[in-house]
Every structure is written in structure tokens, then in C-alpha cells.
Amino acid sequence: MSGAGLPSLRRQVAIAHLAGVLVGAGATMLGPILPVLSRTWALSDAAAGTFLACVYVGGFSGAIASGWLGARLRLLTLLGLGLALFAMGLGGAALMLRMWMAPSLFVSGLGLGVINPVANLIVAKASFPSPAAALNLFNFSWAAGALAAPSAFAFALRWQPPAYVLLEFGILAAAATCLAAMANSAAANARLERGAAAGGSEMRSGNFGVVAITGILLFLYVGVETSVSIWLPTGAARWVTAGASQAAAAQTAFWASLMVGRLLAPVWLQYLAPRALIFTGLLCGALGMGGLLAAPGYRSLVAAAILAGLGLAPVNPTIVAAFTTKLGLSAARWLGPVFACAGLGGAVIPWLVGAISSQLNGLRRGFAAPLIAVGAMVCLELMMGRRHRRHPQD
């Protein structure tokens, strides 16, 4: 890659990281805003849940659409489109009209669904020959946005009405849209695509199995991560009688360890192959989750949460890196649907934990679902490794 192209690629990666922070913030923004909307409009829990569903359905639809659009548009063009949709949705939500809130949140979710796979792909393609390290750092940016947004929104809502907070967030998304448009030149994108072609091949019939297995892996992983994050405070309260602040701190410890693990992943990748890092991460994650269930006290529960977060941290981005390297230019077509599978996992497996807990009268039993999911991921990774040994040319 020419030296003249490096500054342009760095700008594109920087914009992708900014987009990752926005996606992480967008994924958690309704947490502090929804109670205000519920009080303002006297919403029932079912009505408030409809707003959450709009963001989820929009995200799923955007991820599916990004696969179709990825084969037809430049990556930065598609990233700018996603950011523009996100900004438009936030602008519509800032009108604070109840009839417009649901469609506006759907549009913002649509933008998030487009942004996430495209930003991952930009980072992966610009970072050949080490996409795994780069994508772990990108997911650090995503986690930083997700972790910081609830506190930032809650603080802003103390001084401003929700309309202003949503509008300001929309303006930030619009500014990122302008940055993506400024960086979107044909020459820069041509260099980016050529760099990707060196690391992978066109879609072959045998690679449809890779797409399917990767979709299942991300379905399971996101379900596991979301389950631990959502149910950890409840588990802390029930298993070690933690107070509300202690339970929240345990959840924060899990998220903080995820961030630290993704920040350290490039260092670990200097000593471990990507597949070895995935296996190690899954085993550490399973040990941490087992420690949560067996913890005799609050300190041991927090230590187990940290171990689980550190173990799970590099799994998702390293799987995505292996996928983009394997498929090369065809990854633009298939990464969106794969991310849609991940979103489904984030909805299904946490629900399954609650359903098992209710049926068997115990949250510890419910945690069998994510533990089984981790075991299934190990089996699928073994299948992928065996497939690669038998068909190294695929």
C-alpha cells in the first residue's frame, strides 16, 4: 500500500471508530430517556417496550439491508448513509411528538443496523494483515460508547429536556455524517478495496458454510454477552444479597473488563493465533460465568464477573476478523446478515435465561443457557478448524 494512501485510510478508520462510539451510545441511549418519556406521556410498560422494539426491529432491518447495499455502494458511502439515517431518526425523536416517536426510533435503529457492520468492515479491510487486533480496538470504542452513554444522558437530562438531549446527539451524528462524506473519495476507496483483496478471496460455494457458522457463532456470542450483562445485577442481588449500588457496580465491572480485554487483545495476539485466542477467551468466559454461580460472597462474584468479561472480550471481534479475512471482497455482502443474526441472539438468549428461571424457579438454572451457548461455540470453532484443515483452499 502506498504511503500516500495511509493518511486517507487512517482518516477512514478514525471515522469508523467515531461511528462505533455512536453505535454503542445509541444501543443504550433509551435506558435513561425512556423513564422520562414514560412520565411525560403516562406510558404503560408495554407502550414503553414498543419504543425499544422499534429500535431493535430497525437495527435488524438495517443490518439485512447493509448486506444488499454493501455489494453496490462504497463502504464510506454506506457508512454515511447509516449515520444520516441515525441523525434523521434522532431529529424526528427530538420533536417529542408521541405519534412520531416510534417511526423515528425505527429510523434511528435502521441507521445503527447499517453503521455497525460497515464500520467493522472498514476497520478490518484497512488493517490488513492484522484485522483481529484492529477490530478488538474498534470494539473497545463501541463498548466505551455503550458504557459512557447512560451516565452522560442521565447527567444531561438533569439540566435539559429530552428534546434538547436527543437533538444534540442528532447533531453529533450529523457531524459524523459530514466527516464520512468528506473522506469518501473514489481513490481512497479503491486503495481500501485493493488492500482487502490481498487478504481474502471472492465468494466460493464452500464459503456459504463459513457464513452460516459465523452467523450462528455471533448469535450465540451476543446472546451470552447480553445475558451476563442484563442478568448480572439481578443475580448479584439474589445470590450474594448485594444492594442496588453493589449490583450495578458488578455490572460495571463486567463492562469495564470487556473494554480492558479488547484493549489488551492486540498484545495477546502477538503470542496467540486468532483461533487460539478465541478458544482461550471462551474457556475463561465459561470459568468466569461458573464463578458467578458459585460465588460465596460479593467480592468473589465481582472477581468472577471480571474474569468473564476479560475472557469474552476478544471473542466477537476476532471471529469477525476471521470472517472478513476468509471472504475478502464478498464480506461486504454477507457481514450485514451475519450481524443481524448477532442481534437476534441478543434478544433470544437473555429471554431464554428468564424463561428457564421462571419455569425451574431459579436464576442459577437459567444461566445454564449461556453456558451451553459457550459450549456450542467451542464445538463450532472446532468444526471451523477441521474444515480449514481439510479444505485450506476454500
Complete DSSP assignment for 185-246: -HHHHHHHHHHHHTT-----GGGHHHHHHHHHHHHHHHHHHHHHHHHHHHHHHHHS---HHH
Neighbours of 40 (CB within 10 A): 12
Q: Is the pLDDT of residue 284 over 70?
A: yes
The domain locations on the chain are: 5-197, 205-390
Q: Is the pLDDT of residue 172 over 90?
A: yes
Asked whether this chain's domains 5-197 and 205-390 adopt the same fold, the reply is yes
Q: Whats the size of the chain, residue-wise? A: 394
pLDDT value for 235: 87
Distance CA 94, CA 169 (A): 10
Q: Which of 172-176, 194-198, 269-273, 349-353 has the lowest mean pLDDT?
A: 194-198
Nearest to 354 by CA among 230, 221, 252, 219: 230
For 13-49, the pLDDT digits (tens) are 899 999 999 999 988 888 788 888 888 888 777 777 7
Q: How many CA atoms lie within 13 A of 295 on its CB side?
A: 29
Average confidence (pLDDT) over 165-182: 92
pLDDT value for 358: 86
Q: Which of 137-146, 149-158, 205-214, 262-271 has the lowest mean pLDDT?
A: 205-214
For residue 129, cis peptide bond before it (omega within 30 degrees of 0): yes
Angle at 94 between CA 87 and CA 81, to 5 degrees: 10
pLDDT value for 16: 92
Cell of 127: 488493517
List C-alpha distances in Å: 258 to 143, 282, 341.
8, 13, 21
Determine contact, residues 321/132, Cβ cutoff 8 Å: yes
pLDDT value for 201: 42
pLDDT bracket for residue 153 (50, 70, 90): confident
Which CATH number describes the domain made up of 205-390? 1.20.1250.20
The predicted model scores a pTM of 0.84
Average confidence (pLDDT) over 163-176: 93
Average confidence (pLDDT) over 195-210: 53
pLDDT value for 304: 95
Neighbours of 376 (CB within 10 A): 15
Q: Is the pLDDT of residue 203 over 80?
A: no
Distance CA 137, CA 285 (A): 19
Q: Is the pLDDT of residue 111 over 50?
A: yes
- The helix/strand/coil state of 280 is helix
pLDDT value for 40: 86
For 41-71, the pLDDT digits (tens) are 887 777 777 888 888 889 999 999 988 887 7
Q: Is the pLDDT of residue 306 over 90?
A: yes
pLDDT value for 20: 93
Q: Is the pLDDT of residue 325 over 50?
A: yes
pLDDT value for 388: 59
Average confidence (pLDDT) over 142-151: 87
Give Rg (Cα) of the chain: 21
Distance CA 394, CA 206 (A): 6
Higher pLDDT, 249 or 386: 249
Q: Which of 54-63, 188-197, 204-213, 345-354 has the lowest mean pLDDT?
A: 188-197
pLDDT value for 202: 46
What's the chain's average pLDDT?
85
pLDDT value for 199: 40
Which architecture, in CATH terms, is 5-197? Up-down Bundle (1.20)
